[in-house]
Amino acid sequence: MHNLFKNLSSFALVLCLVLIFAVTSLAKIKVGVISSQTSGLAILGQRQINAAILAAEEWNEKGGINETKIRLIIEDSSDKTTTAVTALDRVLGKNVCAILGPIYSFQLFAMFPEVKKEKIPMLSTSGTRKLTQMDNRWYFRTYPHDGITKQACTLYAVEELKSKRPSLMSVTTEYGKSGYEIITNILKAKGIAPVAETWHEKADKDMTGQLMRIKRSDPDIIISQAHPSDTAIVLKQQRDLGIDIPHMASSAASMPSVHKLVGEAMEGVYVETVTLPNFDPDPNIRAWTKKYIEKFKKKPDSFALLYYDTANFLFEAIKAVGPNRTKIRDWLETTRYKGLAGQYRFDQEHNGAFFAIIVQYHIKDGKAVPELKKKYDFTPK
């Protein structure tokens, strides 16, 4: 009898611990985070995941959201649409109230049908213009779309650098196609036609053919739209081939990881981006950058900073209305948020940011250092 009582007591204790653990787990506010942790796309993806982790930890250190801790459900989207959709299914299986999504538009497009079906808010920092033209009220963009950043880089090339014979290099992903369309439309409005246009796959390792075609066309500038790894290849091979004309690169060229790959070839390169956390004089951004580097042992980029703002914007929404998907969406649609990088307010299409900057890089003491050339603000009046 004594052993029976002892066994029953042990069982009851274990059962209580299991129930306590279950209740604790249920009590946490679960938010999905989907981004690339593997493949070449992890250069951007992991930095964004780090930014979300940092934001969640800061909230949890202060007690969480309304005294409930945040639990991030993190899944790898790698570099394929199938992997991204699988990651979405896994996150949804954990009953999250909202999702911080990947930056890559080809993955987001693949996830949209399920996002709409499940009626779950998804926020991301993708710049592809078409994303917010898909009649999807559950998706929110917190990065200036291509219509903002590509307008800035094209106007700068034409108005400040006085380009009359631009050439275009674009990646075949939706990002590249979107940027190409916007840039060519702006050039057309200015009465200018590209003297050469080339395309490449995001995994291509040799751009010699494209660059030699451009060289033969005798352009006065190269405007490129590419992801980090292919941007690095383009910039390095342009220098190796002796094509000595200005290069206006997409925001991927603002990443420290790209600078390491490109080296001295970053000298003189123009880049369109939205913020540069490693060089911004704002004391709040400098403090955040220092904290990020101390925790993750690597420098953040503009996408990481805006992803951090995005996470905080979402957490504020949950704080205001609770972990209710519809209420979170409605709150985001009607609320302005001041983040580290700037002001966010969603328009009818769910575009939330309208700022851009142009910088030019110079090599100083072996490092690529940006010089701010011009700020653009296209915020609707």
Q: How confident is the model at residue 160 (pLDDT cuts 50, 70, 90)?
A: very high
* 260: CB partners within 8 A, 6+ apart: none
Q: Which domains does the chain have, with CATH numbers?
A: 24-143+281-350 (3.40.50.2300), 147-273+357-377 (3.40.50.2300)
pLDDT at 305 over 60: yes
Q: How confident is the model at residue 230 (pLDDT cuts 50, 70, 90)?
A: very high
* 23: CB partners within 8 A, 6+ apart: none
pLDDT at 258 over 80: yes
Name which residue leads in pLDDT, 377 or 107: 107
Place of tokens 């963009």: 141
- Dump pLDDT digits (tens) for 208-223: 999 999 999 999 999 9
What is the DSSP-derived secondary structure letter of residue 298? Answer: S
Q: How confident is the model at residue 238 (pLDDT cuts 50, 70, 90)?
A: very high
pLDDT at 235 over 50: yes
Q: Is residue 25 exposed (0-12), middle (13-18) or buried (19+ Cβ within 10 Å)? A: exposed
pLDDT at 12 over 50: no
Other C-beta atoms closer than 10 Å to the C-beta of 17 total 10
Largest CA distance in the chain: 96
* 344: CB partners within 8 A, 6+ apart: 142, 309, 313, 336, 337, 338, 352, 353
pLDDT at 16 over 80: no
Percent of the chain with pLDDT over 90: 87
> By three-state DSSP, how is residue 170 classified?
strand
> By three-state DSSP, how is residue 369 classified?
strand
- Dump pLDDT digits (tens) for 332-348: 999 999 999 988 999 99
Q: How confident is the model at residue 43 (pLDDT cuts 50, 70, 90)?
A: confident
| Mean of pLDDT over the chain | 92
The DSSP annotation for 195-264 comes to SEEEEE-TT----HHHHHHHHHT--SEEEEE--HHHHHHHHHHHHHTT--S-EEE-GGGGSHHHHHHHGG
pLDDT at 11 over 80: no
- Dump pLDDT digits (tens) for 128-153: 889 999 999 999 999 999 889 999 99
Q: How confident is the model at residue 262 (pLDDT cuts 50, 70, 90)?
A: very high
Q: How far is CA 50 from CA 44, 61, 88, 165, 304, in A?
A: 10, 16, 19, 41, 8
Place of tokens 């953040």: 300
Residues 31-52: what's their mean pLDDT? Answer: 95
Residue 350 Rama label (left phi>0; alpha psi -120 to 50; beta) = left
Residues 274-288: what's their mean pLDDT? Answer: 93
Going by their DSSP bridges, the two strands 343-344 and 337-338 should be labelled as antiparallel
Q: How far is CA 190 from CA 176, 220, 224, in A?
A: 21, 16, 19
The reply to whether the predicted model has a pTM over 0.75 is: yes
